[in-house]
Amino acid sequence: MLRMFVRILEGQARNSTVIGSEPLTAMRRGQMGRSRVTKFAADFFAAEIRAWHGEEPLWKVFWVYGVATSVTIVALYVVAFYDGRMALRQVLLPCFAAYTTWILVSVWRCASNTNEKLWSTLARFLTVAWAGNTILVLIFLQLNLLIKYFQH
């Protein structure tokens, strides 16, 4: 299982070029037979797809997609918590889990896209800590929701 996780994290990290890389160009060429919705989604999420492939600058993936987006999701969850919206809280948990999976893989793959090796190493260390923290937080938040559900 650990080998599979390492393959996922490093799977496409070999394409460590930044913006305007070959895989994105090839992806756009392959859109000929796709629907308009698929084309729109691929264009709309092009930066996120590049991040998943390890082709975005580390600072952008870490601070914009990682920290800022996480704060937004946590803020939504806090509002749902204090408003007593259990259904919204339950919907946000799997969304947060999916998002966290994406961002952890993206940060890991983009870690080499920096001039300083220190930032690369620090980003990967924080990614491991972030993963452990997220797993524990999701477990405890889900347990809290189950307890609330069975109390009603």
pTM (2 decimals)? 0.75
Domain ranges (residues) in the chain: 15-151
| Model confidence pLDDT, tens digit, residues 95-131 | 999 999 999 999 999 999 999 999 999 999 999 999 9
Cα three-residue angle 11-14-18, rounded to 5 degrees: 115
User: In this predicted structure, what is the pLDDT of residue 120?
Assistant: 96
User: In this predicted structure, what is the pLDDT of residue 32?
Assistant: 56
User: In this predicted structure, what is the pLDDT of residue 34?
Assistant: 74
Q: Helices 69-83 and 86-110, interaxial angle, to 10°?
A: 170
